[in-house]
């Protein structure tokens, strides 16, 4: 039983058109006329991005969904993905684990209409490392970017904040509550695919490292300042209930995979109508102004001083 049998058993059933059943050195991908390729890549490392005892199926789905979220932020329709897996030898990542992992991939392939194009599998002395490169397409020149925010634009986010961050706290034993929906939000994010925001929003990205830090990326790329209002942030009741004890984790927490958008006043109606039409909750949380940096104002409109800015990768 070598690498080839392993790939054949678990990954060949996931292969789509262009993958040629994973029997060649590479794959092909066709693009509709007038569209260009959009690529994004995300790596998940055991112990950093997921816990060793998280269910294999949800790890698979989160891996795909982080990547799907990046394509959503680019305004791109997802089509295929490449998968690279480095498996630590002699651990619990066995046949049964990968059967469940592949079933998770299969479920989301169906849900998001994507398929596997290829990848690589190796053994490794390191923790389990999973990498997906996702391939999508967009009408040529119509990709969404981070550098278009202008003073006077509103700052908007989809969905709600803090559920995944609290879910992680529960998994780490730092928050005791019987609310399993928070852990579920941590394990299986909901990428905002399927929206068509080109020509409506001025800048876009997805919130993976926390609202404050990610707003900083748009501010910096666009050469503007952003002011966020704590009182405007959309929090579901299960999250708001923990604001007195876990405020900073809720306000800075990562893993939301919601969209962070800036929108000129003239397009606000179009933005709201589009999101309503797609059943995506949308909230205006701040303003773009001239200047630099990101400020979050508390309910008394005083700047909040945080002890950190958000998730640090290094």
Name the segment binding Mg ion (CB under 5 A); options: 62-70, 149-157, 231-239, 240-248: 62-70
Q: What does the block give as tokens for 196? A: 């068509």
By three-state DSSP, how is residue 44 classified? strand
Q: Which of 46, 108, 153, 206 binds Mg ion (CB under 5 A)?
A: 206
Put residue 173 in one of left, alpha, beta given phi > 0 → left and psi -120 to 50 → alpha: left
Say if residue 147 carries a ligand binding annotation.
no
By three-state DSSP, how is residue 224 classified? coil
Please say which residue, 153 or 206, places its beta carbon nearer to Mg ion. Answer: 206
Name the segment binding Mg ion (CB under 5 A); options: 67-75, 127-135, 229-237, 302-310: 67-75
Which residue, chain included where needed, has tokens 């509103």?
154
CB of 183 to Mg ion, least distance (A): 22
Residues 145-204 contacting Mg ion, CB under 5 A: none
Please say which residue, 50 or 257, places its beta carbon nearer to Mg ion. Answer: 257
CB of 192 to Mg ion, least distance (A): 12
- Residues 6 or more apart whose Cβ sits within 8 Å of residue 304: 230, 251, 296, 297, 298
CB of 206 to Mg ion, least distance (A): 4
Please say which residue, 128 or 218, places its beta carbon nearer to Mg ion. Answer: 218
Name the segment binding Mg ion (CB under 5 A); options: 68-76, 132-140, 243-251, 270-278: 68-76
Say if residue 70 carries a ligand binding annotation.
yes
Separation between Cα atoms, residue 74 and residue 206, nearest integer Å = 9
CB of 65 to Mg ion, least distance (A): 12
Please say which residue, 208 or 262, places its beta carbon nearer to Mg ion. Answer: 208
CB of 42 to Mg ion, least distance (A): 8
Residue 70 interacting with Mg ion (CB under 5 A):
yes
Give the β-pairing of 225-229 and 293-297.
Answer: parallel
Residue 255 interacting with Mg ion (CB under 5 A):
no
Please say which residue, 202 or 246, places its beta carbon nearer to Mg ion. Answer: 202
Show the DSSP H helices in the chain as ranges: 3-10, 56-73, 95-112, 163-171, 180-187, 211-222, 237-240, 243-252, 268-277
Name the segment binding Mg ion (CB under 5 A); options: 15-23, 117-125, 187-195, 208-216: 208-216
Separation between Cα atoms, residue 275 and residue 136, nearest integer Å = 21
Count of C-beta atoms within a 10 Å radius of residue 1: 7
Please say which residue, 220 or 298, places its beta carbon nearer to Mg ion. Answer: 220
Say if residue 209 carries a ligand binding annotation.
yes
Count of C-beta atoms within a 10 Å radius of residue 48: 11
By three-state DSSP, how is residue 212 classified? helix
CB of 205 to Mg ion, least distance (A): 6
| Sign of the Cα pseudo-torsion (40, 44, 49, 51, in order) | positive
Separation between Cα atoms, residue 81 and residue 25, nearest integer Å = 16
Residue 256 interacting with Mg ion (CB under 5 A):
no
Q: What does the block give as tokens for 6? A: 């392993």
Annotated binding site: 25, 40-42, 49, 70, 119-120, 146, 206, 208-209, 255, 311
- Interacting residues with Mg ion (CB under 5 A): 70, 206, 208
- What residue numbers does the annotated binding site for substrate cover? 49, 255, 311
């Amino acid at each position: 039983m070598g690498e080839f049998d392993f790939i054949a058993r678990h990954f060949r059933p996931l292969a789509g058109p262009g993958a040629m059943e994973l029997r060649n050195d590479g794959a092909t991908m066709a693009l509709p006329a007038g569209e260009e390729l959009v690529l994004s890549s995300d790596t998940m490392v055991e112990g950093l991005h997921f816990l060793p005892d998280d269910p294999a199926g949800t790890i698979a789905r989160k891996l795909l969904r982080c990547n799907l979220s990046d394509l959503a932020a680019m305004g791109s329709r997802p089509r295929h993905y490449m998968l690279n897996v480095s498996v630590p030898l002699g651990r619990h990542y066995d046949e049964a684990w990968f059967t469940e992992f592949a079933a998770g991939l299969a479920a989301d392939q169906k849900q998001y209409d994507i398929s596997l194009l290829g990848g690589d599998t190796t053994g490794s002395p390191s923790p389990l490392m999973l990498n997906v490169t996702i391939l999508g397409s967009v009408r040529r020149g119509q990709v969404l970017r981070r550098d278009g925010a202008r003073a006077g634009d509103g700052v908007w986010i989809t969905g709600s904040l803090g559920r995944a961050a609290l879910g992680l706290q529960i998994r780490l034993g730092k928050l005791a509550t019987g609310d399993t929906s928070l852990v579920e939000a941590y394990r299986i994010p909901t990428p905002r695919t399927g929206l068509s925001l080109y020509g409506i929003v001025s800048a876009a990205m997805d919130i993976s490292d926390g609202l404050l830090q990610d707003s900083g990326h748009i501010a910096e790329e666009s050469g503007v300042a952003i002011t966020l209002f704590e009182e405007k942030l959309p929090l579901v009741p299960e999250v708001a209930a923990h604001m007195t004890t876990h405020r900073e984790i809720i306000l800075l927490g990562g893993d939301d995979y919601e969209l962070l958008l800036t929108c000129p006043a003239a397009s606000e109606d179009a933005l709201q109508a589009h999101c309503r039409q797609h059943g995506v909750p949308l909230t205006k949380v701040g303003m773009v102004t001239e200047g630099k940096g990101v400020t979050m104002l508390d309910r008394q409109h005083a700047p909040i001083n945080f002890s950190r800015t958000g998730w640090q990768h290094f």
